[in-house]
Structure formats: structure tokens, C-alpha cells
Structure 1
């Protein structure tokens, strides 16, 4: 097995096999401001911090490229993310039109469009950040599609521990509450034309074998058309 496989295979498979494991809750005690340690080891998308507020952070991400699954219908974020991971893992291992292996990056994100009821299926799209060296011509693959982000603003809340089907909703609601009555809330609503909690994204940075200093994030992306809010 190559050095690539020796590093990437345990990282992805351990993440897949442990998504249901709650584990000890090693929270950072903060909702923003922790630089994900994983990004010191593998490539992550670049961003600038625009503002740190009470319980939230506003970031501006540079233009970036993501490889994404088709929407996955499921009741469980954990199960849908696992399904998406397998597709993306096969992709970076060479199951693409070019037969090309691709370096692992972080975070892997899951966009959630929640259902109208607790027992209805939601829609989940799982995405892998494409390394810079592959962004000009990412290998196509059946069942996956490329998303090209222009510079994007994101409201962010961080949380520790392991992502579960319960805590993601709680953290998204907490982010929404922290943004209430701010200019950022207005910008998000204007950008989406929706309630701020309707669509959000979960970003996961850590291997499940890392119990301390875990960093997960809720993202609410939005566009800024008329300049930054005051």
C-alpha cells in the first residue's frame, strides 16, 4: 500500500465507522475562535475572519472548488454523511474518469435542508474540498458534481465532541439565536430568501480517534451584494 493509502484510508474509514459514537464530550468551551488542528496537517480552504461576535464568527472564504454528492434523502445526518463519505472516498482513491488519486483535505461538509417534520426525510449533500492542484480540472465522476464557490461569506459556530443527529440541530439553533437582530441575520435572510435555520452546513475536521480539542462547525453561507453590513 502506498504512503497515500496508509494515511488517507485510516483517516476516512475511522471517520465513517465512528460517526454514531458519542464519546466523551471534550468541548472547547467556546463557540468560535479555535483554529482546527487538522488544518495544520492537511489542506483546508482559506478564509479571513471579518468579525467575531457573541457566539458567532463571520468569515470570508476565497473562491474554492468542492466535489459534491447528489442530494441524499435520509432521516439521519449521520447515516447520510456516511453514505456520502463512501462515494467521496472512492473518488479520491481513483474511482473517477481520470483514474486519478487525490489528496485528502478538510473539512468534509454536509449541507442540510431539513424536513418539515421529525420523522420525515431531509436532504443532505456531502462535499469534499478539492485541493488547489486539482481545482482547475477536477476529475469528473458518476454520481458526483463540481461546485465552484465564488468568494463566500459564512456565519460560523463551533462546537466540540462528536457530531450527532441531535446536537447539530441544537447548535444550528444556537447560531441562529446568536445572530438574531444583527445585520448579519438580515444579510443571510436577504441572500437566501428563507428563515436562517432552514438550510445550514455541518463541517467536520477531526478523526474520531482524536478525543481532545475536537472542532466541528455549523455554517450559514450568504452573499454580500451591497457592501458589508455596518
Structure 2
């Protein structure tokens, strides 16, 4: 009975990360929460990073090498709908539906790499990824219709906001992050990385979600703009 209950909690947790929570129980969003450590990372494993700069409404982090298990790109007009589709694949994966028949511990964040369409009613492309725990990273389990992303160390420009992620606020938060970076050396590095086809070139921005649907206080979400630069 306990195992069934634990699996249900894991399922609820991952579904919430991928679906954006409840629109009916959505606390007031507080954007620009620079430097707030996601409380979820005190309970479950998250990737390591170093804050190298704190700006007005953003911070710059340097992440170590990380490994992610990712869906194939999903075409949809809705981030929430696309990530609900991805949920079934990722939850089955951590429950043991992989080539190693291996159960995987829950981690955070779940990220969605977003490549918006040119038109307001056209489909965008969403790649949803689960952070692979460190103990599994040397030999991550392959799985059908999923692929492994091995990220080299990289910089990430980050904007934090609270509440639940929705189709309406992610674009606004991504635009606000870009605006806050204007005129900085970081903006130049991000643009150069995209032009060179390097880190960050495959998506416009990434949405990182950390919380379960049962947490209504202290929610932390992030917009990421990954990039490369010479150390």
C-alpha cells in the first residue's frame, strides 16, 4: 500500500511540473525573484550551479555537466498541452519503462525547451526533459521515443517568477528577461552563441519548473537562456 501511495505522489508531482498546475488555485505571481533558491532542491536532487553575476531582474549561473532524458519535439500551440503529452513518457521512464528496467528517483527541475512559431495561432515546438540523477548519469537508461541530452558546462541567464506556469505568463517572463539583459555583455554572449549554432541555438528559451501542485506558497519557476562564452 505504501509503494502504491509513493508512486501516486511521484506521478502527481511530475504531472504538476509538466502541466503547469491549477489555473483556479493560482497565487499572485511575483516576477524577478532574483537569487531565491528553489525550496524543492532541499528535498530532491537538482543540478549544481554557481551564481557568477546578479543583475536587475536576472542572474547569471554557470552549470556543471548535466544529463537529461528528453522527449522528441512536440508540436502544439500550448505549452501546458504539450507537456501533458510528454508527462506519460517521462513518468513511465522513471517508473522503469526503459531498456534497463530501472526505477529512477524524482529530481527537479523539469524543463521545457520552447521554439515559438512565427504566427500567433501556429504550433510551436516543445522538448520536455527530466534531469537524470547523478548516480545514473554515467550510464543513463535508454528508452523508446526518448533521447539523452548530455550538456557540457554552460552559462544560463535566469529570471525567476512565482505562481503556476501558464501559456500566458511564460512568453511575458521570457520577454522581460531579454529586456533586462539589453545592453549587457551577457546579451552579446547569448546572441553570439545562437549565431554560432552553439548552446541555446536550438530554442528561444527554456522553462524550468520545480514544485508540486500541492505547494501554493514559495513556488519558484524560471526562464532560462543558456549560452556559451570563453572562461
What residue in structure 1 maps to residue 205 of structure 2?
A: 200
- What secondary structure, in the 3-state scheme, does the structure 1 residue paired with 2:160 have? strand
Match of 2:23 among 21, 24, 43: 21
TM-score w.r.t. the length of structure 2 is: 0.91
**Residue 126 of structure 1 pairs with residue 125 of structure 2:** no
Structure 1 residue 11 displacement after superposition: 1.7
Question: What TM-score results when the alignment is normalised by the length of structure 1?
Answer: 0.92
Structure 2 alignment gaps of length 5 or more: none
Match of 2:65 in 1: 63
The whole-number CA distance in structure 2 between the counterparts of 1:141 and 1:10 is: 22
The alignment of Structure 1 onto Structure 2 pairs a total of residues equal to 225
Partner of 1:161: 163
Matched ranges for 1:88-167 at <5 A: 88-167=90-169
Match for residue 193 of structure 2 among 180, 191, 194: 191
Give every structure 1 segment of 4 or more consecutive aligned residues whose post-TM-superposition deviation is greater than 6 Å: none
1:223 is aligned, of 202, 225, 228, to 228
Distance in 2 (alpha carbons) for counterparts of 1:171 and 1:160:
11
Distance in 2 separating the partners of 1:45 and 1:162: 21
* 3-state SS in 2 of match to 1:83: helix
Is the 8 Å Cα contact of residues 28 and 214 (structure 1) preserved in structure 2? no
* Equivalent residues of 1:48, 1:61 under 8 A apart: yes
